[in-house]
């Protein structure tokens, strides 16, 4: 079964799926109005932090309002250095540091307004979670940039960084009318734009879930193994993840993301933490799903300087530990030396190969012996989830 040491599958039949690359290209290939087609002109958006989650939403909203979106360039070391002077704290995480370079690239040499809203709360991703806050850095970084980038502080160009309720259509429409008053946005335009935004985001999520389920089918069909590479939306930025997804596919394993499988999970509650962070609730759900499968393991990407992960990592480890699974965290920052990560991934692949060779299985959880999904929870809308949408009650079907 196991191939060469450190390779779980040997040469795959066709390349293992890699969802991080898919997410990145799907997110930023949203259709945009050309400047000539846009009656209200151009609007800059930085490719940073929760924009790696919500870009389809804001791009559709702005297009519906008649703006042509100018996205900041892909992240790179050079781009990061352009914003270095304005970073107020060396100890902040790398995804936040990168935001400075993106904003500087948008404001330098352009009089275009920039839109980068503060979003305190996301929509609910996981049923039963206590709340859905963004981390304080994600929520308020538009304010930090306003106070630290000279061109923004001096008001040299319009900078729209309002606090917006992305979780309520009616309130969001009202706030759009207020914040875009300089462009005389009417009530029916705001409502239509919000509808377009919700539809675009839901379409992206649906495709992402389908990709996750297709990757699971690949794992099952090939008899191989998958890694749920879990983190935050901005870990999909190649400048942030430093190529770790391809390192994993190079070992013959599929790469799934936590947001592509969290809809299939049922979290054993209560958790030891207050489950109040939107992205982290997906982590717990993905860990719960992985814990009940022999053909999946989880690797958590953790950014240096991330205060929240000091707490979440312990909770994820505990969920996996209940099923006898090991927890792997890879800490990343701006340095791209992957030597330690490569060793860690090879060790994990070797441990998985040994576990499979020895026929060791994931242990059942105390309260949920098998993965049990209900059509209401998983949506029951995709080819993968449909046959699994039934309660598993038979004692004989339980693992020993």
Q: Exactly one of 69, 135, 253, 330 binds ligand SF4 (CB under 6 A); which one?
A: 135
Give the residue with the Cβ less far from ligand SF4, 93 or 114.
93
Nearer CB in complex with ligand SF4: 143/203: 143
The count of chain residues that interact with ligand SF4, using the rule CB under 6 A, is 12
Instruction: Sketch the per residue contact string, 96 through 115, with ligand SF4: x for CB under 6 A, - otherwise.
Output: x-------------------
SS3 state at 272: coil
Residue 238, burial from CB neighbour count under 10 angstroms (0-12, 13-18, 19+): middle
* CA atoms of 144 and 96, how far apart (whole Å): 10
Q: Is 93 a residue that touches ligand SF4 (CB under 6 A)? A: yes
- Which distant-in-sequence residues (6+ apart) come within 8 Å of 12 by Cβ? 222, 224, 252
Residue 230 binds ligand SF4, judged by CB under 6 A: no
Interaction of residue 197 with ligand SF4, rule CB under 6 A: no
Cis peptide bond N-terminal to 270, omega within 30: yes
**Could you identify the residue written with the tokens 């965290």?**
329
* Residue 138 interacts with ligand SF4 (CB under 6 A): yes or no: yes
Please say which residue, 300 or 303, places its beta carbon nearer to ligand SF4: 303
Judged by beta carbon, residue 232 or residue 292, the one nearer ligand SF4 is: 232
According to DSSP H, which parts of the chain are helical?
Answer: 19-27, 51-65, 77-82, 94-107, 136-148, 150-153, 169-179, 187-222, 238-241, 244-249, 258-261, 278-291, 309-321, 339-357, 375-378
By the rule CB under 6 A, 23 interacts with ligand SF4: no
253 binds ligand SF4 (CB under 6 A): no
DSSP 149-174: -HHHHTTSS-EE--B--TT-HHHHHH
Which one, of 43, 108, 52, lies nearest residue 79 by Cα? 108
User: Segment near ligand SF4 (CB under 6 A), from 6-14, 131-139, 172-180, 216-224?
Assistant: 131-139
Per the rule left: phi > 0, alpha: psi between -120 and 50, beta: everything else, 91 is alpha
**Is 85 buried (19+), middle (13-18) or exposed (0-12) by CB count in 10 A?**
exposed
Contacts of 374 (CB under 8 A, 6+ apart): 389, 391
| CB count in 10 Å sphere of residue 369 | 15
In the complex, least distance from residue 332 CB atom to ligand SF4, rounded to whole angstroms? 10
Does 119 interact with ligand SF4 (rule: CB under 6 A)? Answer: no
Rounded least distance, CB 138 to ligand SF4, Å: 5
- 2 contacts ligand SF4 (rule: CB under 6 A): no
Span interacting with ligand SF4, options 56-64, 93-101, 261-269, 338-346, rule CB under 6 A: 93-101
Tally of residues, the chain: 400
Q: How far is the CB of 101 from ligand SF4 (least distance, A)?
A: 15
Smaller CB separation from ligand SF4, 135 or 291: 135
Binding mask 283-312 for ligand SF4 (x = CB under 6 A): --------------------x--xxxx---
Quote the least distance from Cβ 55 to ligand SF4, whole Å. 16
Give the pair of three-digit tokens for residue 310: 């000091």
Name the residue whose CB lies closest to ligand SF4.
306
Q: Give the shortest CB-100-to-ligand SF4 separation in angstroms.
A: 13
- Would you say 300 or 323 has its CB closer to ligand SF4? 300
Question: CA–CA separation, 364 vs 368, rounded Å?
Answer: 7
Which of 313, 363 has the CB closer to ligand SF4?
313
Q: Which is nearer to ligand SF4, 135 or 320 (CB)?
A: 135
Q: Does residue 83 belong to the site contacting ligand SF4 (CB under 6 A)?
A: no
97, 132, 232, 241: residue in contact with ligand SF4 (rule CB under 6 A): 232
Rule CB under 6 A: say whether 95 interacts with ligand SF4: yes
* 225 vs 352: CA distance, rounded Å: 9
- What is the closest distance, in whole angstroms, from the C-beta atom of residue 257 to ligand SF4 in the complex? 15
From the CB of 226, what's the least distance to ligand SF4, in Å? 24
DSSP state of 61: H
Binding site for ligand SF4 (CB under 6 A): 93, 95-96, 135, 137-138, 232, 303, 306-309
């Amino acid at each position: 079964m196991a191939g060469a040491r450190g390779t779980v599958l040997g040469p795959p039949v066709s390349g293992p799926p890699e969802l991080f690359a898919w997410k990145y290209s799907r997110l930023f290939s949203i259709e945009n109005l050309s400047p000539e087609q846009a009656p209200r002109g151009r609007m800059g958006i930085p490719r940073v932090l929760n924009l790696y989650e919500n870009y389809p939403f804001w791009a559709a909203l702005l297009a519906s309002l008649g703006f042509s979106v100018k996205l900041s360039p892909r992240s790179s070391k050079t781009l990061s250095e352009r914003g270095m002077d304005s970073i107020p704290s060396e100890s902040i995480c790398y995804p936040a540091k990168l935001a400075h370079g993106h904003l500087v690239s948008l404001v330098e040499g352009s009089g275009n307004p920039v839109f980068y809203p503060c979003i305190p709360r996301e929509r609910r991703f996981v049923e039963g979670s206590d709340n859905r806050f963004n981390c304080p850095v994600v929520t308020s970084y538009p304010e930090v940039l306003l106070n630290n980038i000279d061109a923004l502080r001096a008001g040299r160009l319009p900078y729209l960084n309002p606090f917006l309720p992305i979780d309520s259509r009616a309130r969001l429409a009202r706030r759009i009318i207020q914040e875009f008053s300089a462009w005389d946005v009417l009530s029916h335009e705001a409502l239509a734009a919000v509808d377009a935004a919700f539809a675009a985001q839901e379409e992206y999520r649906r495709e992402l879930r389908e990709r996750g389920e297709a990757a699971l089918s690949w794992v099952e069909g090939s008899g191989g193994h998958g890694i749920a590479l879990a983190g935050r939306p901005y870990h999909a930025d190649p400048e942030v993840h430093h190529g770790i997804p391809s390192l994993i596919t190079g070992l013959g394993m599929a790469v799934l993301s936590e947001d592509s499988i969290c809809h299939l999970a049922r979290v054993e509650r209560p958790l030891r933490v207050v489950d109040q962070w939107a992205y982290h609730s997906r982590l717990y759900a993905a860990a719960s799903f992985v814990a009940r499968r022999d053909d999946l393991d989880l690797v958590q990407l953790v950014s240096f300087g991330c205060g929240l992960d000091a707490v979440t990592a312990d909770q994820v480890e505990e969920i996996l530990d209940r099923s006898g699974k090991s927890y792997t965290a890879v800490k990343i920052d701006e340095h791209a030396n992957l030597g330690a990560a490569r060793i860690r991934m090879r060790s994990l692949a070797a441990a998985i190969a040994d576990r499979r060779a020895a026929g060791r299985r994931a242990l059942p959880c105390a309260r949920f012996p098998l993965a049990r999904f209900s059509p209401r929870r998983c949506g029951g809308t995709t080819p993968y989830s449909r046959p699994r949408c039934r309660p598993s009650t038979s004692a004989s079907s339980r693992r020993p």
